[in-house]
């Protein structure tokens, strides 16, 4: 058995003695992959959320169906911080294989719940132990043998409810959510929770300080993962054709489409779907179907991850050059090759931007939260059709597969941007028309769609050299002219892609640039740098490639600009240096890549250290 | 464009305008840049003729291809249709997406033996498996022409090429692959047999599902020597025609004048019919079923609705190195991908913005689940 997963168990960095033990700590459930702990953990986080307490959950799981260690961490933060923490104060040691290591990772004063009927060594005397008679409790409840494994984890949910003060009604509501309201299943699980909580009340005197109290900080919010948000966003954004091929961590995006498309996108008159979702035979076929549909005039998309975009390379380059719209959600994971399929990384940035052959520069969107996963569901289509080229959305595993709090998504107020499409009537008014002619000086030509009855409308789309009228050509001047127009189009893209989000602090000499799921760690780190070290920082969160003029201005304003990202070589750092060569030495790469979501401590420590040595 | 006949004068020339109000030049394409005598150009001519005879509206047709000599040919017919020339072997996925997006188009895909049988075999099989409605033409010459003469996957065992040497691998029979993949319209023809190509094309264009036409189309530059089974000489000398095929459009009333029992009718879903008359290979009594004479002198009767018979026919032909042409298999019972996706009659691309967005109520209800 691989020990790779074991080696990345959460690490202890020492308990902060001044830390408020109420609504401000983390829980980690260490279980065995495939043991049914997902329902228990999901129930826990949603119950806390329903109590109005800000939470964030992260599932650290191995690439395996069952048997390897898995950790689910829940951060409880009254201040609303949602980044991953290095320290988890409350351990549910339900995996014998990793129990010793998990216990060792607890900070002094930490809490450990473990099944007393399993082999477990109390190797430390500076933590609080709560042994739970799991087998006996389940046996006493007379649970059907076939269901024992499914409900055994509810024992720690019940015990934690009692020890931390999680409301039973919130747990029942959360269970109902995850079990689709199936009353029998809800009752079965809830009975275990109640029995365990009652037992804990009678047998486990509270010896630790950690507890939760109802708040009102999640009122009106929803708890959703990025892939589901993206799927719903695409359905709101007019998606009509999706072709996809299974790959972690992108599969749940297609799953979300399959789940929500029938609920959201039926023609009310005919009850028939207004979309088609096809599981392709591979990623090449998936992008082929997307481009076929995009060429025809449909809003088409696929979801994939790094190895998938590699296979799509030729087609993406074709789409760029032939100017066919399409949307690719690249839910990034750890590379190279198959890498660590269930770990997070932002390693596809350079590849995605230049995906293709020859001089290709793609539009890349960089959602930084689930709200943007939803919004970019439509934005990606608008840009793909406006600019007539493939658009890649670079989400990642942390954003895509974990649950995040957010304000509810708003029904869009802007119409779908279908771009420069000429119908038969418009063509009638024109003396001539050239598919690849730059009429408006923005590099974006006009297109016609197949089915247009005007005899002028038809043209031949090809990946070979073509002139303004889409005619085949190998003339050097035609090639240069066309590539110059595509470059002009890229300059237009620079001005219409989503602008970065900027927070400037007065007196700051240090700038930070980040993107994607690193945002929560950066936000928290900036607060710490300010409160603990007195260091003011300004922050720019990038939301798209190509980079715009505002990025250059931001870099110009600061003495040093730290570029924070989850890859080994500082891919965005390199793009920023290319974008602002005159400030290249100001840009400091803080690339980090261990497969785990970024923590505020990493950011704080590194920036502090670098600033101290100046 | 029609010329009225003068009373008492010679009969009026054949009408030059079809029911779509278009004349034959309206169906033409750009001048071909393929080698003079290339079989692909003959096929393009028959596509033009077929579309004209069926009175198709060119703007309702899409032309698709991959890479190779064959894949250049869509530029040489139906200029008034949108065309797309994509990457090597991946045209089927483009066609799949295009037809999902707009089910009201007629898709004509042109591929080659390299494009379909090697790099594109996977997409070919999955297109067949999905039954994407389209005409899929394989211009099969057993050789890579555009890269100047390498063996393709359909090259015959023992075939010789100037630079590539002798082929030692078994060929892939793309018709066999199609039938195994449940394709409902599978035919083989020869570019030199214009009438058969044309009638098969018209039937294929009227078929609802993937219609495969594997047409031996000699490469005059790299593979037209007498020993090649993909040459004109071999084709003309060895072609064994399964049926005399006539395609009858639904609106045309044509009396069948063949003897009872000698004509097999295959009704297509929206009315037209394919008439298959067994080729006369031996003299028989009146009303006697006629069949095709194989090279060994046996008379063969082929029922194209019999899948196993079609497989057997091809397998035997392969063993005996026979070149059989005609409609090999037809089955109209399979649902297409568009049926399986339950797509509405209105093309997805014709949907209004209201149809492309959920109702506010449905949207709110979906989000409420996450609270």
Residue B295, pLDDT score: 57
When mean pLDDT is compared across A88-92, A293-297, A490-494, B163-167, the lowest value belongs to B163-167
CB contact under 8 A, B102 and A459: no
Overall average pLDDT of the A82-89 stretch: 94
The SS3 call for residue A568 is coil
Helix (H) or strand (E) holding A371: helix A370-387
**Strand pairing class (A560-565; A510-515):** parallel
Overall average pLDDT of the A550-566 stretch: 98
Contact by Cβ (8 Å): A598, A337: no
CB contact under 8 A, A415 and B353: yes
CB contact under 8 A, A263 and B81: no
Residue B37, pLDDT score: 87
Residue B288, pLDDT score: 47
A 215-274 residues inside an 8 A Cβ radius of B: 221-224, 232, 235-236, 238, 240-241, 243, 260, 263-265, 267-268, 270, 272-274
Enumerate the residues of chain A whose CB falls inside 8 A of the CB of residue B115: none
Q: How far is A461 from chain B (nearest CA, A)?
A: 4
Question: Per-residue confidence at A190, pLDDT binned at 50, 70, 90?
Answer: very high
Residue B11, pLDDT score: 66
Which residues of chain B fall below pLDDT 70?
1-15, 252-262, 279-300
- Cα–Cα nearest to B134, from B240, B221, B209, B35: B209
Enumerate the residues of chain B whose CB falls inside 8 A of the CB of residue A296: 62, 97-98, 101-102, 105, 349
Share of chain A above pLDDT 70, in %: 97
Rounded CA-CA distance B335/B217 in Å is 31
A317-362 tens-digit pLDDT:
999 999 999 999 999 999 999 999 999 999 999 999 999 999 999 9
Residue A441, pLDDT score: 98
A490, pLDDT greater than 90: yes
Residue B159, pLDDT score: 85
Q: How far is B132 from chain A (nearest CA, A)?
A: 12
Tell me which residue in A236, A272, A322 faces B363 most closely, judged by beta carbons.
A236
CB contact under 8 A, B348 and A275: yes
Q: How far is A596 from chain B (nearest CA, A)?
A: 26
Residues in chain B: 371
A277-294 tens-digit pLDDT:
999 999 999 999 999 999
Rounded CA-CA distance B251/A421 in Å is 36
Overall average pLDDT of the A508-514 stretch: 98
pTM: 0.94
CB contact under 8 A, A280 and B93: yes
Report DSSP state, residue A326: E
As for the ipTM of the complex, it is 0.94
CB contact under 8 A, B122 and A281: yes
Contact pairs from chain A to chain B, CB under 8 Å:
214
A416-462 tens-digit pLDDT:
999 999 999 999 999 999 999 999 999 999 999 999 999 999 999 99
Contact A55/B at CB under 8 A: no
Residue B292, pLDDT score: 60
- Cα–Cα nearest to A419, from A589, A512, A513, A298: A298
Sheet of B61-65: strand order equals: A460-462, B82-85, B61-65, B106-112, B134-140, B210-216, B185-190, B323-330, B239-241
For residue B105, report the phi and psi dihedrals to the nearest 5 degrees. Answer: -95, 155
Residue B291, pLDDT score: 61
Nearest residue of A to residue B119 by CA position? A284
The residue assigned the tokens 């710490």 is: A528
Residue B253, pLDDT score: 52
CB contact under 8 A, B357 and A222: no
**Average pLDDT score, chain A:** 94
Helix (H) or strand (E) holding A14: none
Runs of H (alpha helix) within chain B: 39-53, 69-72, 91-101, 113-117, 121-130, 174-180, 194-205, 232-238, 307-319, 337-340, 353-356, 360-368
CB contact under 8 A, A298 and B82: no
DSSP codes joined into one string, A140-177: HTT--GGGHHHHTTHHHHHHHIIIII--HHHHHHHHHH
A 441-500 residues inside an 8 A Cβ radius of B: 448-455, 457-464, 472
Rounded CA-CA distance B135/B77 in Å is 15
Tell me which residue in A411, A450, A463 faces B86 most closely, judged by beta carbons.
A463
Residue A576, pLDDT score: 98
Overall average pLDDT of the A86-115 stretch: 95
CB contact under 8 A, B101 and A297: yes
Residue B278, pLDDT score: 72
DSSP codes joined into one string, A262-289: HHH-B-TTT--BS-EEEE-SSHHHHHHH
A125-164 tens-digit pLDDT:
999 999 999 999 999 999 888 888 888 999 999 999 999 9
B257-302 tens-digit pLDDT:
545 456 788 888 878 888 887 764 444 444 445 566 555 555 567 8
Residue A614 tokens read as 């100046």
């Amino acid at each position: 058995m691989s020990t790779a997963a074991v080696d990345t168990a959460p690490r202890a960095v020492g308990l902060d003695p001044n830390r408020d033990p109420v609504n401000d700590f983390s829980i980690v459930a260490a279980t065995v992959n495939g043991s049914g702990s997902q329902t228990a953990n999901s129930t826990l986080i949603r119950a806390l959320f329903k109590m109005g307490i800000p939470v964030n959950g992260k599932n650290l799981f191995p690439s395996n169906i069952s048997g390897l260690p898995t950790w689910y961490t829940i951060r409880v933060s009254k201040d609303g911080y949602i980044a991953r923490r290095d320290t988890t104060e409350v351990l549910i040691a339900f995996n014998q294989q990793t129990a010793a290591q998990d216990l060792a990772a607890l900070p002094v004063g930490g809490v450990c719940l473990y099944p007393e009927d399993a082999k477990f060594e109390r190797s430390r005397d500076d933590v609080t132990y709560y042994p739970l008679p799991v087998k006996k409790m389940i046996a006493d409840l007379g649970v059907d043998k076939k269901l024992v494994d499914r409900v055994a984890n509810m024992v720690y949910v019940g015990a934690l409810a009692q020890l931390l003060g999680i409301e039973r009604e919130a747990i029942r509501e959360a269970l109902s959510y995850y079990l689709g309201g199936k009353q029998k299943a809800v009752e079965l699980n809830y009975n275990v929770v109640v029995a365990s909580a009652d037992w804990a009340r009678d047998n486990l005197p509270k010896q630790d300080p950690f507890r939760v109290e109802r708040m009102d900080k999640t009122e009106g919010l929803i708890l959703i993962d990025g892939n589901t948000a993206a799927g719903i966003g695409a359905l709101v954004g007019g998606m009509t054709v999706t072709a996809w091929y299974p790959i972690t961590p992108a599969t749940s995006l297609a799953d979300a489409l399959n789940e929500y498309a029938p609920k959201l996108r039926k023609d009310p008159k005919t009850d028939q779907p207004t979309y088609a979702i096809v599981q392709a035979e591979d990623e090449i076929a998936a992008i082929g179907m997307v481009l076929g549909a995009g060429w025809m005039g449909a809003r088409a998309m696929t979801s994939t991850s790094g190895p998938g975009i590699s296979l799509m390379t030729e087609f993406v380059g074709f789409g760029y050059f032939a100017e066919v719209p399409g949307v690719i959600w690249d839910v990034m994971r750890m590379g190279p090759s198959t890498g660590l399929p269930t770990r997070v990384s932002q390693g596809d940035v350079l590849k995605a931007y230049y995906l293709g052959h020859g001089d290709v520069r793609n539009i890349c969107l960089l959602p930084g939260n689930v709200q943007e996963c939803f919004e970019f569901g439509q934005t990606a289509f608008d840009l793909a059709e406006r600019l007539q080229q493939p658009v890649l959305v670079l989400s990642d595993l942390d954003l895509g597969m974990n649950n995040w709090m957010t304000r509810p998504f708003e029904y869009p107020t802007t119409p779908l941007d279908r771009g420069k499409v000429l119908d038969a009537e418009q063509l009638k008014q024109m003396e001539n028309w050239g598919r690849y002619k730059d009429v408006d000086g923005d590099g974006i030509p006009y297109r016609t769609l197949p089915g247009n009855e005007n005899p002028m409308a038809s043209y031949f789309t090809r990946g070979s050299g073509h002139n303004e009228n889409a005619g085949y050509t190998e003339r050097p001047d035609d090639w240069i002219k066309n590539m110059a127009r595509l470059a002009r189009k890229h300059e237009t893209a620079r001005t219409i892609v989503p602008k970065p989000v900027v927070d400037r602090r007065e007196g700051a000499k240090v700038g930070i640039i980040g993107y994607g799921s690193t945002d929560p760690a950066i936000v928290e780190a900036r607060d710490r740098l300010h409160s603990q070290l007195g260091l003011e920082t300004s922050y720019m969160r990038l939301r798209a490639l190509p980079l715009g003029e505002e990025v250059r201005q931001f870099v110009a304003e600061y003495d040093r600009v730290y570029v924070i990202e989850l890859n080994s070589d500082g891919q965005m750092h390199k793009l920023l240096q290319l974008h602002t060569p005159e400030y290249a030495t100001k840009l400091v790469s803080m690339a980090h890549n261990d497969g785990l979501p970024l923590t505020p401590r990493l950011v704080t420590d590194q920036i502090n250290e670098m600033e101290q040595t100046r | 464009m029609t010329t009225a006949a003068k009373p008492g004068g010679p009969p009026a020339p054949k009408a030059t305008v079809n029911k779509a109000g278009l004349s034959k030049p309206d169906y033409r394409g750009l001048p071909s840049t393929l080698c003079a005598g290339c079989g692909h150009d003959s096929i393009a001519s028959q596509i033009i003729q077929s579309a004209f005879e069926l009175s198709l509206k060119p703007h309702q047709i899409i032309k698709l291809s991959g890479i190779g000599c064959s894949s250049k040919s869509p530029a040489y017919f139906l200029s008034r249709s949108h065309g797309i020339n994509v990457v090597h072997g991946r045209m089927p996925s483009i066609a799949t997406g295009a037809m999902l997006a707009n089910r009201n188009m007629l898709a004509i895909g042109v591929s080659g033996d390299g494009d379909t049988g090697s790099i594109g075999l996977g997409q070919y099989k999955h297109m067949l498996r999905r039954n994407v409605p389209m005409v899929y033409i394989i211009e099969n010459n057993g050789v890579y022409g555009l890269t100047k003469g390498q063996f393709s996957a359909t090259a015959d065992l023992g075939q010789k090429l100037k630079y590539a040497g002798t082929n030692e691998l078994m060929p892939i029979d793309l018709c066999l692959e199609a039938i195994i993949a449940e394709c409902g319209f599978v035919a083989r023809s020869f570019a030199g047999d214009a009438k058969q190509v044309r009638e098969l094309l018209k039937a294929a264009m009227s078929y609802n599902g993937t219609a495969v036409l594997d047409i031996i189309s000699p490469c005059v530059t790299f593979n037209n020597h007498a020993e090649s089974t993909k040459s004109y000489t071999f084709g003309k000398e060895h072609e064994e025609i399964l049926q005399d095929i006539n395609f009858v459009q639904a609106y045309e009333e044509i009396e069948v004048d063949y003897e009872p029992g000698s004509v097999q009718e295959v009704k297509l879903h929206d009315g037209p019919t394919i008439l298959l008359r067994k080729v006369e290979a031996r003299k028989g009594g009146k009303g006697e079923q006629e069949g095709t004479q194989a090279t060994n002198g046996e008379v063969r009767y082929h029922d194209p609705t019999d899948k196993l018979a079609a497989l057997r026919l091809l397998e035997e032909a392969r063993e005996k190195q026979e070149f059989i042409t005609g409609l090999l298999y037809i089955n109209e019972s399979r649902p297409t991908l568009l049926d399986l996706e339950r797509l509405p009659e209105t093309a997805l691309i014709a949907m209004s913005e209201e149809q492309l967005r959920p109702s506010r109520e449905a949207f709110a209800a979906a989000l409420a689940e996450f609270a």
